[in-house]
Amino acid sequence: GSVVVNINYNYRRECMLGELLRITTQPQHLGHKSYHLRHEIIKPDGSIAFDGQVTSVVMDLTTRDIVPVPDCIAKHFS
């Protein structure tokens, strides 16, 4: 399973109740045993209310070892 090992989020602007927000997740970097995703919340005027990056690793849930990123995740980085 995927395990988050680092999160860095930045609050940029206030969001108001009822605003139609766009939330994006983009693959940023693929390593052998880790990967990085970028997240954004975008306001109706195009300004970024929130952004950040998450680093995750993949763990074998039986052995609890960190393992190479499987193809089902890696394919999103090409």
Q: pLDDT in tens for each of the 78 residues of the chain?
A: 999 999 999 999 999 999 999 999 999 999 999 999 999 999 999 999 999 999 999 999 999 999 999 999 999 998
Q: Is 46 helix (H, G, I), strand (E, B) or coil?
A: coil
Domain CATH number, residue 51: 3.10.129.10
Question: Biggest alpha carbon distance in the chain?
Answer: 48
Q: What is the pLDDT of residue 2?
A: 96
The strand pairing partners of 34, in sequence order, are 57
* Structural domain containing residue 53: 2-77
How confident is the model at residue 78, as a pLDDT?
Answer: 83
Domain count, the chain: 1
CB 59 within 8 A of CB 53: no
* Structure token digits, residue 24: 């994006």
